[in-house]
């Protein structure tokens, strides 16, 4: 069967090259998923490769599901189901579930999300008597994650710390954190990778099994792999060397979370016999947009040379807009959207607003609401991180794994059953001294004399409830039945109505959505289990829930947008110090080049029309500064934007105003002037004015602590979950009762303690 029909020459070459190491450099919009799926189909149908000996790895569940569906359409669902098509993390969970005892874990280990990790670290810092102000939980968690990405174990971290006080403390916390994870029979996301690596490293028989099993390995988005993922790929591919990696070094934008661009740049060094095929024909964007993207990214030195082209039309020029401030910038965006809608040219879902930092979204959201524009904010509070969902999932986690102290402590008094902090602390202390599980100590709290008669009875009512729920799942194995039993037995809906009156209906709708999720899981899964359901929930990403058909404008960060495309894209805040970020401008060429790659990603999300905006001044993180247009705007070719035309009109206007009748000859400059497109209230200050702070700023507030209940005029009541001191300000992260999470400056937020 010919699986190359309709492919271009380079795509055909990539499909037919099946043996040995292969690097496919796939530019944005070049049809790489089609190449991968047709390559798999060719291997199975024409080369006689058993489907179960193929491993295909990508980075999101959404991409994995799409890839599997496409393969099924080519070779049939039965064969597609026999192959492993998954994310790195899903692959690792599958391997670890089969061999947990080799690492000292039980089969039904829990997977901790970020909130679980922070809760556990908070307890550890308290036990170790380490001041959170000196070692903020977010900072410590980031340091531990970085070590895991580099496969640095706690023991190695202690040795590497040497006499560095801060590193010694972090290594100490890391060691305690890993011990507690194992005690809780839990792993975080990084552990899934690291523990699989350790399993392969220390158990040759297990590694050998998977090396023999996977004769052909395909890895998508290879430029996004970190140190642990790189090592896993190297280990698995070592025996047969039939490794095909697909990626684009120009879209490597996750260095801040451990991705190592050298993995793709050095592929030919790792595999001397590697073939390299470049996919440069783009099927997404107009040539004008591609010319702009090519020009910007060509300023990077650390890249493999490639140049996108298309058979699509030349298309519209890129529109560069200057606004007075971030409010006028948002007005320009909403006005363009409204005009297109009113003229019948577009639907709301055709528009995406992509920004460098989440802090930019607030004003854009206000303008969307003020103009009655339906919108979706991707990257806000994830569905599974909302309080009501987290509570119910925690009940399910405890039923599956009573060693999970983090989940137990979250729900032992939810809804309130009279179990106070003092009782929890007493049980915790006893369990630690006797080397017992918290749940077991709680269950025996009366007969062991841990608590008095009254408090112990309240604790035992909780442990008895968990035992009842365990019987339900053991009897029926129905996750929907179990969830509904939890909701009914603890009367959770009444609890929500009483404690979250203002947002109760929205929260109840979320709970109904969770019930629907369990119904879908039960109907779509051949062998359902509570552990598998919790695994699926834990591994879902925000982008996996993105619905392309929902008719609303999409707001998201540039980082979140990779892999997506839209007819019309707005990129606000294209200013020096914001995009590229100030840190990237001061921390070396590598950081700046990653920012430029991020700009390349943003530009290539647009299919038909692109707007890039910058403001004369902007208030961000409590500081108001004058702004300069980004170097990325100046790196755009003149012929791709509206700048040259606007400059010519500006000069002609000035000539006429001065009474001159001669025609001005306008020469094209490699760095055109920035045209001024101002609205009312324009500032007359020159854009060349150096950035400066506004004087007489309010003073930051230092006496907030994590857990404080606060009130904000716009967002309502919430709880402070994290505190960070940044330069001369204090920022607090607040989980509001509405479900939103915001980071606010204490200088300007006017927060009131409750």
Q: Catalytic residues, which ones?
A: 32-33, 220-221, 251, 605
CA distance 91 to 236: 12
CA distance 289 to 601: 11
Q: What is the DSSP string of 248-306?
A: -GGG---GGGT--THHHHTHHHH-TT-EEEEE-B-SSS-HHHHHHHHHHHTT-SSS---
Under 8 Å between Cβ of 469 and 399:
yes
315 token code pair: 């298309």
CA distance 141 to 734: 18
Question: Residues 568-598, buried b or exposed e (16+ Cβ, 10 A)?
Answer: bbbbbbbbbbbbbbeebeeeeeebbbbbbbb
601 token code pair: 């990603």
Query: How far are the Cα atoms of 10, 39, 40, 83 from residue 45, in angstroms, in the given order?
Result: 21, 10, 9, 14
Nearest partner of 45 among 16, 19, 9, 68, judged by Cα? 16
Under 8 Å between Cβ of 352 and 566:
yes
Whats the size of the chain, residue-wise? 754
Angle between helices 530-539 and 504-524 (to 10 degrees): 120
639 token code pair: 């012929």
The single residue listed with the structure tokens 């606004």 is 323
Parallel, antiparallel, or unpaired for β 741-745 and 729-736?
antiparallel
Measured in whole angstroms, how far is the alpha carbon of residue 377 from the centre of its chain?
Answer: 13
Nearest partner of 566 among 309, 376, 705, judged by Cα? 376
Task: For residue 434, give the 3-state DSSP assignment.
Answer: helix
Ramachandran area for residue 232 (φ above 0: left; ψ -120 to 50: alpha; else beta): alpha
The 10 Å Cβ neighbour count of residue 53 is 19
Under 8 Å between Cβ of 647 and 671:
no
Cis peptide before 415 (omega within 30 of 0): yes
300 token code pair: 């990077």
Alpha helices in 128-203 (DSSP H): 137-149, 154-161, 165-183, 189-202
Task: For residue 15, give the 3-state DSSP assignment.
Answer: helix
Query: Cα 528–410–750 angle (5° rounding)?
Result: 125
CA distance 339 to 355: 22
φ/ψ (deg, to 5) at 204 = -60, -35
- What are the respective helix, strand and coil percentages of the chain, to the nearest 5? 50, 15, 35
DSSP conformation class of 41: H
Nearest partner of 57 among 91, 107, 104, judged by Cα? 91
Tell how many helices (H) and how many strands (E) occur in the chain.
30, 21
Under 8 Å between Cβ of 246 and 36:
yes
């Amino acid at each position: 069967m010919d699986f190359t029909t309709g492919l271009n020459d380079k795509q055909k070459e990539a499909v037919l090259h099946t043996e040995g190491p292969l690097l496919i450099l796939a530019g944005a919009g070049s049809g790489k998923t089609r190449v991968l799926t047709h390559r798999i189909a060719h291997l199975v149908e024409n080369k006689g490769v058993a489907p179960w000996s193929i491993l295909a790895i990508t980075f999101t569940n959404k991409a994995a599901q799409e890839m599997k569906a496409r393969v099924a359409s080519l070779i049939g669902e039965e064969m597609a189901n026999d192959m492993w098509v998954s994310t790195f993390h899903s692959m690792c969970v599958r391997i670890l579930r089969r061999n947990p005892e080799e690492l000292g874990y039980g089969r039904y280990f829990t997977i901790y999300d970020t909130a679980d990790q922070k809760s556990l670290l908070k307890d550890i810092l308290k036990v170790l008597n380490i001041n959170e102000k000196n070692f903020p939980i977010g900072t410590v968690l980031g340091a531990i994650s970085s070590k895991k990405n580099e496969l640095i174990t706690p023991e190695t971290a202690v040795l590497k710390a040497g006499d560095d006080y801060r590193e010694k403390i972090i290594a100490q916390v890391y060691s305690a954190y890993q011990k507690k994870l194992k005690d809780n029979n839990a792993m975080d996301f990084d552990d899934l990778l690291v523990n699989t690596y350790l399993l392969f490293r220390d158990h040759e028989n297990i590694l050998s099994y998977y090396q023999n099993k996977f004769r052909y390995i395909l890895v998508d988005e290879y430029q996004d792999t970190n140190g642990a993922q790189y090592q896993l790929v190297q280990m698995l591919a070592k025996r047969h060397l039939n490794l095909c990696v697909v990626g684009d070094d120009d879209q490597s934008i996750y260095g801040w979370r451990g991705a190592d661009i050298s993995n793709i740049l050095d592929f030919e060094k790792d595999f001397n016999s590697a073939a390299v095929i470049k996919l440069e024909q783009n099927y997404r964007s107009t040539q004008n947009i591609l010319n702009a993207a090519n020009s910007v990214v060509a300023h990077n030195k650390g890249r493999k040379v490639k140049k996108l082209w298309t058979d699509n039309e030349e298309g519209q020029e890129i529109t560069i807009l200057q606004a007075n401030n971030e409010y006028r910038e948002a007005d320009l965006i909403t006005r363009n959207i409204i005009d297109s809608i009113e003229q019948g040219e577009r639907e709301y879902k055709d528009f995406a607003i992509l920004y460098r930092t989440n802090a930019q979204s607030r004003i854009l959201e206000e303008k969307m609401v003020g103009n009655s524009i339906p919108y979706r904010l991707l990257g806000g509070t994830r569905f599974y991180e909302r309080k009501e969902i987290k509570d119910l999932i925690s009940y399910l986690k405890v039923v599956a794994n009573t060693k999970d102290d983090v989940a137990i402590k979250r729900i032992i008094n939810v809804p309130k059953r009279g179990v106070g902090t003092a009782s929890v602390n007493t049980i915790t202390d006893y369990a630690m001294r006797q080397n017992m599980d918290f749940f077991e100590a709680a269950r025996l709290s009366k007969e062991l004399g841990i608590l008095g008669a009254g408090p112990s009875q309240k604790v035992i009512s909780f442990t008895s409830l968990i035992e009842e729920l365990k019987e339900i799942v053991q009897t029926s194995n129905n996750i929907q039945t179990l969830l509904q039993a939890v909701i009914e037995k603890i009367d959770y809906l009444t609890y929500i109505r009483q404690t979250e009156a203002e947002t109760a209906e929205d929260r109840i709708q979320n709970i109904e959505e969770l019930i629907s999720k369990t119904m879908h899981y039960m109907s779509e899964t051949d062998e359902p289990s509570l552990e598998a359901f919790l695994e699926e929930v834990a591994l879902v990403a925000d982008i996996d829930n993105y619905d392309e058909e929902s008719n609303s404008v999409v707001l998201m960060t540039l980082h979140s947008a990779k892999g997506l495309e839209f007819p019309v894209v707005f990129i606000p805040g294209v200013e020096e110090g914001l995009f590229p970020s100030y840190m990237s401008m001061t921390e070396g060429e590598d950081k700046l080049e990653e920012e430029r790659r991020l700009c390349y990603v943003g530009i290539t999300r647009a299919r038909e029309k692109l707007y890039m905006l910058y403001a004369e001044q902007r208030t961000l993180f409590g500081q108001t500064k004058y702004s300069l247009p980004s170097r990325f705007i100046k790196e755009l070719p003149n012929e791709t934007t509206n700048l040259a035309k606007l400059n010519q009109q500006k000069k002609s206007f000035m000539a006429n105003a001065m009474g001159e009748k001669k025609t001005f000859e306008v020469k094209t400059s490699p760095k055109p002037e920035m045209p001024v497109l101002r609205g009312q209230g324009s500032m007359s200050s020159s854009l060349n004015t150096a950035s400066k702070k506004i004087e007489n700023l309010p003073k930051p507030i230092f006496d907030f602590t994590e857990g404080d209940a606060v009130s904000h005029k716009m967002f309502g009541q919430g709880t402070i979950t994290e505190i960070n001191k940044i330069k001369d300000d204090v920022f607090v992260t607040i989980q509001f009762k509405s479900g939103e999470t915001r980071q606010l400056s204490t200088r300007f937020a006017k927060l009131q303690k409750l």
